[in-house]
Amino acid sequence: MSNKKGNNGLLILVIILSIILVGVMGLYFYIVKDDPVFQFIGRIISTKDGAESIRSRRESNDKPYDLTNNQRYSKDLVDKNNINILIIGPDETSSNYDTLMIASIDDENNTVKLINLPRDIYIDYSDKFKKDLKKKWSSYSKSKGIYKINAAHLLGEKVNYMDGKGRFGKAQYDFTADIIEEIFNIYIDDYIYIKPSSFRKLVDYFGGVEIDVPYLMKYKDPTQNLDINIKKGLQTLNGKDAEGFVRYRQGIDEKGKYKSIGDIERKNNQTTFVKAFLDQHMNLKNLGKIITIFNDLNSYIETSVNAREAGEYGKLAETLYKNKFTKVSEEIECKNVDIGGIYYLKISQK
């Protein structure tokens, strides 16, 4: 089985929402002169279809056993031929994931669907997996919240899932991808992990994002280096405020009373932000900025896509851009449950 290595930080914006602009090839050729760029260009000018090249790399999912107790979401969210990119944002105060978003690209119908997976989704792990986990971590059952999807990667690391020989060559990403495929029937083609503190830098680099903030967002937590104070209304958010917008879950309202929006509404805010970022910054005017930032991408992200594969995404994104792709979003149907005194979200199941 071949492995993908997350060793190249090219094309973060392509990976985030698979959009690279027409004209990248030529400007890259004359401005940047390193080998990864020539690999990228080689794929861009290839006559082979970008989407088909990406799909041709898919491997059969040879899980050692079922990871859950037949946990299956109630409906199919994407077509089997869609190209699916998992976008991961970490929690700065813990090793859990704070954001899990899937950008699903339907090249036949020219759409990009954003699917936010709430971090509190309950994973009903199989007895076989729990047995393997107990061998590596005898006291695992005493740890709180380990059955949430945002902790799945930690459990994958604990058991050294697939001995690090899965599709991405890293246990934490292989396990998370296989969990998502088993439950939601979505094959993860690639992942992008946005490193802590990078979000603010990226937003500021592009001059902020205009957002119609639906309500006052006011919250402070020194332990997370989080100080949110964003007024209601249409405004341009800088990096700091943009981070506050996508992370806000609870705080104080205009009357000084406690307010909580929960994980589902926060996911909706995150989707709103991503759509606004694309609409405002994925255009020819910003092409120079996109090119310039490529040289520094390794400090921002970790990804399974290398330079050669990035060219395939570039070609796919060029097609989407030319055909004026549409963006849609999908909410995961969940209900609040209490399991062992811990708050979870239980998905609607078949």
Tokens at 70, concatenated: 């037949």
Report whether pLDDT(329) > 50: yes
pLDDT (tens digit per residue) in 122-155: 999 999 999 999 999 999 888 889 999 999 999 9
Residue 258 has a pLDDT of 92
More confident residue, 246 or 290: 246
Tell me what the mean pLDDT of segment 4-8 comes to.
36
- Where do the domains of the chain lie, and which CATH numbers do they carry? 12-197+281-347 (3.30.420.590), 199-268 (3.40.630)
Query: Token match 């279809």: residue?
Result: 49
At 31, the pLDDT band (50, 70, 90 cuts) reads: very low
More confident residue, 78 or 36: 78
Tell me what the mean pLDDT of segment 319-328 comes to.
78
Residue 25 has a pLDDT of 32
Residue 294 has a pLDDT of 56
Report whether pLDDT(22) > 80: no
d(CA 7, CA 307): 9
Poorest-pLDDT segment among 83-97, 182-196, 272-286 = 272-286
CB–CB of 71/77 below 8 Å? Answer: no
Query: Token match 């309202």: residue?
Result: 253
Residue-averaged pLDDT of the chain: 81
At 13, the pLDDT band (50, 70, 90 cuts) reads: very low
Report whether pLDDT(203) > 50: yes
Phi, psi of 196 (to 5 degrees): -55, 145
pLDDT (tens digit per residue) in 248-297: 989 998 888 999 998 778 878 888 888 888 788 876 667 666 656 655 66
Tell me what the mean pLDDT of segment 160-188 comes to.
96
Tell me what the mean pLDDT of segment 198-215 comes to.
89
d(CA 150, CA 128): 20
Most confident of the ranges 43-52, 96-105, 158-167: 158-167
- Cβ-based neighbours of 2, under 8 Å, separated by 6 or more: 59
Task: Give ∠ CA 136-188-296 in degrees, rounded to 5.
Answer: 90
d(CA 188, CA 182): 11
pTM above 0.75, yes or no: no
Report whether pLDDT(338) > 50: yes
Residue 287 has a pLDDT of 61
